Structure 1
Amino acid sequence: MNYDMKIKGQTQPDQPGVEELMKPEPIVIRDNYRGSGKLDGKTALITGGDSGIGRAVAVHFAREGANVAIVYLNEDQDAEDTRQMVEDEGKRCLLIRGDVREENFCKEAVEKTVNEFGKLNILVNNAAEQHPKKDIREIDTNKLKDTFATNIFAFFYFTQAALPHLSEGDSIINTTSVTAFQGSPGLLDYSSTKGAITAFTRSLSGNLADKGIRVNAVAPGPIWTPLIPATFDAEKVEKFGKDTPLGRPGQPAEVAPCYVFLASEDASYISGQTLHPNGGQVING
């Protein structure tokens, strides 16, 4: 499949962005991706599941047999489109609209998922925001707090709420970033939260090992998602990902199989680890 598509210079006014406005739209799943029942009978909760990597994970999970609940901020049409994609795979999809920065909402989202499906087996902490600044002195205090609240505090909230429902063989997967390992001079606060997620993943994996609950992370490189045109100017968007060894940005369809692997029994002896779909960047992490 040809993933090397021509990305046009474009911007969007608000984060986390809208997928249907992107040109070209991201590739969600390969036509030749064949599910094999790796997640039959499972229930997954995915934050930021309406678009981008979260949407691709939802559709891949569904093709592998899981029912899915997706948490999203306010992108109703994207969420509805994702639900349709999941239902087209023959599985059920619950949409939960709200702000992951709010602890009570995170608790309610977990309870709604369990009430709808009767259980929870896979938690994917994925929602994120980013606000580039060239100078640390330009970082607004409120934006700094928002970035940490979305990108790492919410991971604690959802994990705390989910744990009573998880049992041996279940899985938590956290979305970190290549920036956690190589840094990002223009995304100081974002890369700091991603570093925190990596440490959170490693620490939590040890904390839950005796319960048989595996905790891993995925650290994507430059992936074509709505957050990109909602973050950068048109010139930077047009060049996005071209500085990787593979010379192009990745697609959500190239990242989601990492989550399938980590959520499935194929990864039964893997915990505390990070997978790196990043276009060939060697980061030794």
Structure 2
Amino acid sequence: MRSEERRPKPEDIPPQKLDYPASQRDMVPQPDSDLSNYSPADKLTGKVAFITGGDSGIGRAIAIAYAMEGAEVAIFYHANDTDAEDTKKMVKEIGNKDCLVIKGDVRNYEDCENALKQVVDRFGKLSILVNNAAYQMTQKKFEDISLEQFRRTMETNVFGYFYMAKAALPYLTEGDVIINTGSIVGKMGKGMLVDYATSKGAVHTFTKSLALNLGDRGIRVNSIVPGPVWTPNIPATMPIEKVDNYDTDGIMKRAAQPEELAPVYVFMASSDSSFVTGALYDVTGGQLSA
């Protein structure tokens, strides 16, 4: 059992630069995403969950937690086959569930439709959609954000969430949930992440608007808003000097580990949050927005 005191501190994270998309296997130290600190309580028994960006980082931790809570789990990923297979193996070993693994691109609506159909064909229904896939790339100067980068960021982080929600809606009924991954930079802004922060601000507004739209159907929509989290995106997209001692901006003076986010996704997926919709739920280690 890993204790709270033993979570990696900023000084435990050395400077490192990995090619995008990075593998979780190559990170030093390895992110905590095995849910070794988590105690399940059968909160999602009988549910079917579909998680985008489920091959590593936060998505992997969510998949394991949901399986531990009794849900059937499917993950969607774009590029990293080895990480996806690692997640499948961990869901089986830790959560005692088979994991349906689907490769595709959230920027392609047909991929989204086909993925959701595979989930329902396999498990008979869909209860929980977690929009978690995201793209970011830092640029110190605004002029260096290419049109291609801006387009990819928006198509992944905004279009992809819209596409998945649209493809999932025919399968969702009263009591089901959509959970979107936002970001604290979508509230605060971030100079070296102009396009990413813009996209996450859109995710927050999309969450609230979709909650209003689907309220009469009894489908809840919420957004988890992380602060800094030690995931493959960090060494793959951040300047090496920012990776060194990552991250000390919040009250807790460290980055989160993926398994620290997963319990909040369990809460939002379960009946414990039956009176919560249209919410932006901050999990930031005390990195406060205005």
Most deviating of 6-15 and 197-206? 6-15
> What residue in structure 1 maps to residue 248 of structure 2?
242
For 1:217, the equivalent position in structure 2 comes to: 223
Q: CA RMSD in A?
A: 1.0
Identity percentage of aligned residues: 47
Spell out the pairing of 1:99-248 with structure 2 (5 A cutoff).
Answer: 99-248=105-254
Partners of 1:167 and 1:213 within 8 A in 2:
yes
Distance in 1 (CA, whole Å) between partners of 2:143 and 2:80 is: 31
CA displacement at 1:87 relative to structure 2:
1.0
Mapped to 2, the partners of 1:243 and 1:4 lie a distance apart of: 15
CA change 1:32–1:224 in 2 (3 A) is closer
CA deviation map 1:204-244 (0-9, x unaligned): 00100001000000010000000000101322101321122
Which amino acid is the alignment partner of residue 283 of structure 1? Answer: S
Which stretch shifts more, 45-54 or 1-10? Answer: 1-10
Q: 1:26 aligns with which of 20, 27, 31?
A: 31
Q: Deviations over 1:20-71 (max 9, x none)?
A: 0011110014424111110001110000000000000000001000111100
- Residue in structure 2 matching 1:68, options 73, 76, 91: 73
TM-score normalised by length of structure 2: 0.95
Shift of 1:78: 0.5
User: What's the CA shift for 1:198?
Assistant: 0.1
Per-residue deviation, 1:133: 1.5
Contact 1:62 1:90 in 2 (8 A): yes
Separation (CA, whole Å) in 1 of partners of 2:246 and 2:8: 12
| Corresponding position of 1:4 | 8
Answer with 223-232 or 88-97: which moved more. Answer: 88-97
Letter in 2 for 1:159: A
- Asked whether the equivalents of residues 49 and 130 of structure 2 are also in contact (C-alpha less than 8 Å), the reply is yes
- SS for the counterpart of 1:193 is helix
Q: State the Cα deviation string for residues 66-103 of structure 1 (Å, max 9, x = none).
A: 11110011111110110011112111211001111111
Q: Partner residue of 2:257? A: 251
1:93 and 1:30, CA in 2 relative to 1: closer, same or farther beyond 3 A? closer
Q: Could you say what secondary structure the match of 1:146 adopts?
A: helix
Q: Which residue identity lines up with residue 41 of structure 2 in the other structure?
A: S
Would you say the 8 A contact 1:10–1:233 is kept in 2? Answer: no
Query: How big is each residue's C-alpha offset from its partner over 1:248-267, in whole Å with a ceiling of 9 and x where there is no partner?
Result: 11100111111000000000
Matched, 1:46 2:51: yes
| Matched AA of 2:112 | C
Q: Is 1:36 paired with 2:50?
A: no
SS in 2 for 1:276: strand
Counterpart CA distance in 1 for 2:109 and 2:17 is 31
Q: Distance in 1 between matches of 2:37 and 2:203?
A: 32
Mapped partners of 1:267, 1:243: distance in 2: 29
CA contact (8 A) 1:47 1:54 kept: yes
Greater shift, 129-138 or 74-83, is seen at 129-138
Tell me if structure 1 keeps the 8 A contact 2:177–2:221: yes
Matched position secondary structure for 2:234: coil
TM-score, length-scaled by structure 1? 0.97
Q: Which moved more, 1:119-128 or 1:23-32?
A: 23-32
Structure 2 spans left out of the alignment, 5+ residues: none
Q: Which stretches of structure 1, 4 residues or longer, exceed 6 Å deviation after superposition? A: none
Question: Is this contact kept in 2: 1:19–1:78, CA < 8 A?
Answer: yes
User: Whole-Å Cα distance in 2 between the matches of residues 265 and 30 of structure 1?
Assistant: 21
Q: Distance in 2 between matches of 1:188 and 1:31?
A: 35
- In structure 1, the residue matched to 2:273 is 267
